Amino acid sequence: MEQQTQILAVMVAYFALLILWGLYQGRKVKNDCDYAIAGRSLPGWAAALSERATGESSWALLGLPGMAYATGLTEIWTALGCVAGIVTAWAGLAWRLRDEAEKYRVNTFSEYIARRHGELGRWIRVVASLTIVFFFFFYVGAQFLGGGKTLFTLFAIPEKWGMLITALIIIPYTIYGGFRSVVYTDCVQAVIMIVTLVVTPVLGVLTIARHPELFAQSIPQALSLAGPGYSSLVGTASGFAAGLLIASGFSWFFGYLGGQPQLSMRFMAIKDPAQARKARNIGIAWTLVAYVGALAIGWIGIALFGPTGLQDQEHVLPAVLLRLFPPAVAAVLITGAIAAMISTADSLLILSATELSENLVKPLAKKRASADCLGRSRRITALLAAIALALAYLFPIQLIFTMVGYVWAGIGGTFSVVILLTLFWKRYHGRAVIATILSGLLFTVLWSLSGMNAKVTSRLLTFFVAGAVAVAATFLLPRKGDSAAG
């Protein structure tokens, strides 16, 4: 009871300060541009930390360590795919998207694509925005689920109540301050996340080496003792199956190539080219350290508890922290797990809200004062938060890894094709954009419903299916002039 009291006190204090910090930043929001994209004036360090906190979410602190705990070394391929994608995005795409956002004076991800593709821009706004919102309801649900799992591990709070508590933490400052509040609260959370991912593996390795009574005294020994496949890069697979396993893990790469709107918006919001270079360096360094730490935590969990010692594999991070650290220290680090979920959930909510407000509602509404537009954006944000939480209750999925993978295909695989071709192929046009988005959406949904994801992941196939449709549509569909703005 004393342990739980200490943890609860630390977490309540942290989240109270986080909400106050977010509300303080929200005071600087004066108009739609501030609310949607922070006036395109983010310093590089803020953009980088926010992008990394948003990109990793409960995925890096619960999902990936959980899969490493469950499968061993095979999750290295997932980590390699993610790291390669993140490095490519920061090195080759971030500065281009920043320059494009400045050139076209856009406030949302879909608005940029629409303005680049002329008179079909209105249809692109509608199709792109609805697709993003559809998939992001699942993604937000994954973050609420992550909060529920963590609070259940700590306090035995039923996961559904934990999901509600997680939602109530993020809603006030997200509604009030929009993108700006989200970015600067993300920065705090990114620092806690990286500290958790560095300190935990270091102490974990030292602990298992000093205690012979544990399941194993080193990570290699733990993997070897866990059973067949844990210490192999391809598990128990061989031949073609081993190739599919590697491809499935590395397929996360394709979703990072500009296709995640919540990440690309951070690129677009950077103040100037000099700040973009600073952001690139911080973002890449953070990623390399974080992914090593996330894998190590899963493997340390095997050494501490054995391969069957945890009822839910995605409880491995809080379980390891509670085993290694005094309650007060564990509480501070565990906030890193919930911080990760919050940093993505708030980003997804504000992006979905601004997509709907700017691209669907605003064009249909009569011209109003900026304050009215700002109020409308806040109301839409509140509505979407309520819907996402309701869907998470009605259609629960047990594994965060599964839910995030589903979104990574439908959004990441599809829009990465759109962004890459928009940036690098002048012949690509508006009708082909719409065909690309619809094909990616339909393929991901139908492939997942068919159960074929268990054989070949849609994270890999959606990118290539959408890419093939994009190329074919570019040549086969007639192209109209695209000089007019969307």
Q: Tell me: the pLDDT tens digits for 207-246?
A: 999 988 888 889 999 999 998 889 999 988 889 889 999 9
Least confident of 13-17, 50-54, 146-150, 377-381: 146-150
Bridge partners, 42 (sequence order): 270
Distances (CA, A) of 31 to 36, 178, 267, 326, 375: 9, 10, 20, 46, 10
Judge whether residue 141 has pLDDT over 70. Answer: yes
Least confident of 5-14, 78-87, 468-477: 5-14
249 neighbors 75 (Cβ within 8 angstroms): yes
Kindly state the DSSP code that residue 56 receives in the 8-state scheme: H
Judge whether residue 198 has pLDDT over 80. Answer: yes
Give the Cα separation of 459 and 233 in Å (integer): 20
Which residue's entry shows tokens 């570019």?
Answer: 474
179 neighbors 101 (Cβ within 8 angstroms): no
Q: How confident is the model at residue 370 (pLDDT cuts 50, 70, 90)?
A: very low
Least confident of 201-215, 260-274, 301-315, 399-413: 399-413
**pLDDT score of 369:** 47
Sign of CA dihedral 423, 424, 428, 433: negative
The mean pLDDT value of the chain amounts to: 86
**What amino acid is encoded at 147 in this protein?**
G
360 neighbors 137 (Cβ within 8 angstroms): no
315 neighbors 219 (Cβ within 8 angstroms): no
Least confident of 297-311, 373-387, 446-460: 373-387
453 neighbors 447 (Cβ within 8 angstroms): yes
Q: 156: Cβ–Cβ under 8 A, 6 or more apart, which residues?
A: none
pLDDT average, residue stretch 168-177: 82
Q: How confident is the model at residue 486 (pLDDT cuts 50, 70, 90)?
A: very low
Judge whether residue 401 has pLDDT over 70. Answer: no
**pLDDT score of 359:** 80
- The DSSP result for 169-213, as a single string, is HHHHHHHHHHHHHHHHHHHHHHHHHHHHHHHHHHHHHHHHHH-TT
| Alpha helices in 228-315, H assignment, sequence order | 239-250, 252-255, 261-268, 273-305
**pLDDT score of 485:** 41
Is residue 79 within a helix (H) or strand (E), and if so which, with residue range? helix 76-88
Q: Tell me: the pLDDT tens digits for 123-134?
A: 999 999 999 888
Give the Cα separation of 89 and 2 in Å (integer): 46
The pTM of the full predicted model, rounded to 2 decimals, is 0.87
Spell out the CATH class of 2-400.
mainly alpha
Q: 384: Cβ–Cβ under 8 A, 6 or more apart, which residues?
A: 133, 349, 352, 353, 356
Q: How many CB atoms lie within 10 A of CB 149?
A: 26
User: Within the chain, what is the greatest distance between any pair of CA atoms?
Assistant: 73
294 neighbors 156 (Cβ within 8 angstroms): no
346: left (phi > 0), else alpha (psi -120 to 50), else beta?
alpha
**pLDDT score of 479:** 77
Give the Cα separation of 75 and 69 in Å (integer): 9
Give the Cα separation of 360 and 111 in Å (integer): 11
80 neighbors 249 (Cβ within 8 angstroms): yes
Interhelix angle 159-210/121-155, nearest 10 degrees: 60
Q: Is 454 exposed, middle or buried (CB count within 10 Å of its CB: 0-12, 13-18, 19+)?
A: exposed
**Lookup: tokens for 401:** 């890894």
Of residues 295, 349, 297, the one with CA closest to residue 323: 297
**Lookup: tokens for 152:** 């259940």
Bridge partners, 270 (sequence order): 42
Q: Angle at the Cα of 130 (from 125 to 135), degrees rounded to 5? A: 135
Q: How confident is the model at residue 480 (pLDDT cuts 50, 70, 90)?
A: low
312 neighbors 320 (Cβ within 8 angstroms): no
Bridge partners, 129 (sequence order): none
Selected residue with higher pLDDT from 185 and 301: 301
Q: 42: Cβ–Cβ under 8 A, 6 or more apart, which residues?
A: 50, 183, 266, 269, 270, 271, 275
Q: 243: Cβ–Cβ under 8 A, 6 or more apart, which residues?
A: none
CA dihedral 107, 273, 50, 64 (to 10 degrees): 110
**pLDDT score of 277:** 96
